[in-house]
Amino acid sequence: MELMELLKTRRTYRRFDQSRPVPEEVLKEILEAARFASSAANKQPLTYVVVQDPKKVEKVFGYTRWAAYLPAEQGQPKEGEHPTLFIGVVENLDRNQNCDTDAGLAISNMTLAAWNRGVGSCMIGACNKAALSEMFGLTEKQVLHTVVAFGYPTHESHIVDIEDPADPDAVKYSLDGDRNYVVPKRKLADVVKYL
Ligand SMILES: Cc1cc2nc3c(=O)[nH]c(=O)nc-3n(C[C@H](O)[C@H](O)[C@H](O)COP(=O)(O)O)c2cc1C
């Protein structure tokens, strides 16, 4: 896919074909993309926990919350719509205490590499990190940054311009009549200042 098109269509996806696992070669590309990401002082403090066994995926899914702007019956993936793969992004504090930007870059690389192969994703900050850290066997020097869900999406997601930047509710995504996501983004003129 052409880069700008890839960036525009790599949205957050929240309903997947649960019967279609992510193939090993795509998983490998996703992980390689994370490895290629820039890293402060090149310390590379992040490691990744791959969960693809269906029973374990379901257990992780139980610790995640989806689409806070929507009622649960609309935003929470239903049976048959769950992701088929989770990747936990782990900060190893003995390598670097400040991993946030590294994590953002790695997650961006992973989700783009996935989308380049038709695999959609949702970054999940709203998860039970204590329970997941225990499940993942993390040590006291390891902090779970986030989990990222992957799968083949069964819906579309489109960007629309925010017309009234002063309206605090204007950032809220919604579903259209076909249950596709509509994601409002602030216009360039509202976020860029030329000196
Ligand atoms: C740091 C971060 C945490 C997020 N956590 C969640 C989450 O817990 N659950 C969820 O459904 N979406 C989550 N998202 C996805 C955002 O809701 C989504 O990025 C936003 O609505 C814009 O949609 P877009 O990714 O298609 O541009 C998160 C995104 C980011 C960047």
Q: What is the mean pLDDT of the chain?
A: 97
pLDDT single digits (tens) 64-91 = 999 999 999 999 999 999 999 999 999 9
Report whether 15 contacts 63 (CB < 8 A). Answer: no
Range of the domain at 30: 3-155
164 located within any domain: no
Query: What per-residue confidence (pLDDT) applies to 195?
Result: 97
> What integer pLDDT is reported at residue 146 of this predicted model?
97
Quick one: average pLDDT of 36-42?
98
Kindly state whether residue 79 falls inside one of the protein's structural domains: yes
Of ligand 1's listed atoms, the one at least distance from the Cα of 127 is 8
Show the beta-strand stretches assigned E in the chain: 46-51, 85-92, 120-124, 142-151, 157-161, 174-175, 181-185
pLDDT at res. 137: 98
pLDDT at 111 over 80: yes
CA of 77 to the centre of ligand 1 (A): 14
| Cα of 139 from ligand 1 centre, angstroms | 27
30 touches ligand 1 (CB under 6 Å): no
CATH number of the domain within which 119 lies: 3.40.109.10
Give dist(CA 121, CA 80) in Å, integer: 16
Contact (CB, 8 A) for 67 and 135: no
195 alpha carbon – ligand 1 mean position (Å):
31
Number of domains comprising the chain: 1
Residue 41 lies in a domain: yes
Q: What is the mean pLDDT of residues 132-148?
A: 98
